[in-house]
Amino acid sequence: MSLVTTLWSMQAAAALTLAVLYAVVWSVDRRNLASLTVCIVAVAMAVTARAEVGMMHAATVTEYGEWTRLLYLPLFFTFVGLVLFVHLFLGTGRLWLLLTIVGTRVVMLLGSFLAHPTFAWREIVGLRHVTFLGEQVALAGPIVLRAWHGLSLASNVLLIVFIADAVLQAWRQGGAEARRKALLVAAGVGLPLTLTILYAQAVLLGALELPFLATPAFLITILVLAVELSRGFLLNRQTREELEDLRSELARAGRVTALGQLASALAHELSQPLSAILRNAEAAELHLNGPSPDLDELREIVADIRKDDQRAGDVIEQMRALIKRRTLQMHPLALSEVVEDVISLVHSDALSRHVALDYVMTPGLPLVSGDRVHLSQVLLNLVINGMDAIQSCPTGNKRVVIEARPEEGRVEVAVTDSGPGVAPGVIDKVFDPFYTTKSGGLGMGLPISRTIIEAHGGRLWAEQARHGSGLTFRFTLTQAQSAVS
């Protein structure tokens, strides 16, 4: 195969690859019309490459003329596509210039189907052959131009003016992003277009003994747009990572807020073992001050002090785990651990608010796959919400129940309160950010909880409790693959 055929096939292949990529981008985001125009331009460029090879390998004047005429079709789509791309991509460019260019290009396209050999050429006087890339290629002999050639020239000049103007406008808007895009258009569209037009003019005037070629310069366009596309990919990934960071920050903020609500209860939870330690130490002192200290009693006291110290340490460890910023770490997990964590955190709060806090776990509940701290946060949030909801209920009727039962492949957890519930229309609103019924509430607890559960591949929703007037919050978790707990 000749070098020309090989090289031009590669150019066409590169252009088509880019066309497919941009087509995919457009199919995902249909409003991104700039991607569609790039796709069209790239396809047109592949066809242009084929026409150019056809011209170079033409055996007769007629064949050469036919390929040249065919060239107008891809060139129409290339030029119109580029103009629209610049307009859509930069958001600048004068509309009347754009319409004029499109108008002249339509006229040229229609003309090229009516006139032979082409719209602008009256006659091709013979073919010459020159050596190009080590092989003989056909060149048009002297070309007799029509008066229409002026329109073609004018259209090309307008094209360059339009792009230069659009780039300048974008540059003047300022801002790093606008200027980057302006440079991209100048280098990726303006430069190759200008080169191609000047080159074609030089060939036409006989200044260069070379074939008419458009595709080599447009390789720059393909390169620049490919870089732009990959940059988009990278940015997208970066954005996703930033979002992930933000989500974990938000989750942490949610946990800290929940802890704030629990501060007094936690103080109580800590004061219990601390005061026991104090009393034990005092008792030991009294024994030691006596005439014959009872060593067995003292040993027992020391053992109890150690036990209570461990208890206080556990509370602090739980708080620390909740406050620490951390990403999701999925492990096989027994839900009962999460429930016990949460109950130990809210136990005192529930007591001082006269709330009966119960939990019903189906025996032999399978392990779930999840992050203990994040799930504790969700459950903590739901339980605190439940306790807040029943604030105004009579003392005997304050109940929050946590239930967990297996579903096929999943485990469903429900938190039900005995409160007054909410109006039917409001039940879906509770997950809206900043929706709150509490005076001190931020309205972020439930949205954050939902984000966490969804990150676990589960679902969190609210519904009317099956018994009583209160609300039930349900969430699902995936069962872990390993054995049943």
Partner 1 sequence: MSAPGIVSATGVVYVVDDDASFRKAVTRMLTAAGLSVRSYASGTELLAHLSGDAPAEESGCVLADLCMPGLDGLQLQEACAEAGVALPFVFLTGHGDVPSAVSAMRHGAVDFLDKCSPQRVLLTSLERALERDTSARAARVRRGQLRQRFAALTVREREVLEHVVHGRMNKQIAAALGIHERTVKLHRNAITTKIGVRSVAELTTLTREIGLFAEPRQSCP
The binding site for partner 1 (CB under 8 A) comprises 264-265, 267-269, 271-280, 282-283, 286-287, 289-292, 294, 297, 301, 304, 307-308, 311, 348, 351-352, 354
Nearest distance from residue 348's CB to partner 1, in Å? 7
Nearest distance from residue 342's CB to partner 1, in Å? 17
Nearest distance from residue 356's CB to partner 1, in Å? 8
Nearest distance from residue 305's CB to partner 1, in Å? 9
Nearest distance from residue 311's CB to partner 1, in Å? 7
For partner 1, which is the closer residue by CB, 118 or 348? 348
d(CA 216, CA 8): 9
Residue 146: count other Cβ atoms within 10 Å of its Cβ.
Answer: 16
Spatial neighbors of 434 by CB under 8 A, at least 6 apart, are 442, 443, 444
Nearest distance from residue 426's CB to partner 1, in Å? 32
Nearest distance from residue 463's CB to partner 1, in Å? 29
For partner 1, which is the closer residue by CB, 109 or 283? 283
Nearest distance from residue 291's CB to partner 1, in Å? 7
For partner 1, which is the closer residue by CB, 122 or 279? 279
For partner 1, which is the closer residue by CB, 273 or 458? 273
For partner 1, which is the closer residue by CB, 136 or 275? 275
Q: Strand 356-361 and strand 399-407: pairing?
A: parallel
For partner 1, which is the closer residue by CB, 236 or 271? 271
Nearest distance from residue 404's CB to partner 1, in Å? 23
Which residue reads 């992003």 in tokens?
A: 177
For partner 1, which is the closer residue by CB, 90 or 266? 266
For partner 1, which is the closer residue by CB, 191 or 274? 274
For partner 1, which is the closer residue by CB, 187 or 312? 312
d(CA 18, CA 12): 10
For partner 1, which is the closer residue by CB, 191 or 356? 356
- Whether the upstream peptide bond of residue 273 has omega within 30° of 0, thus cis, is no
d(CA 181, CA 220): 15
Nearest distance from residue 403's CB to partner 1, in Å? 21
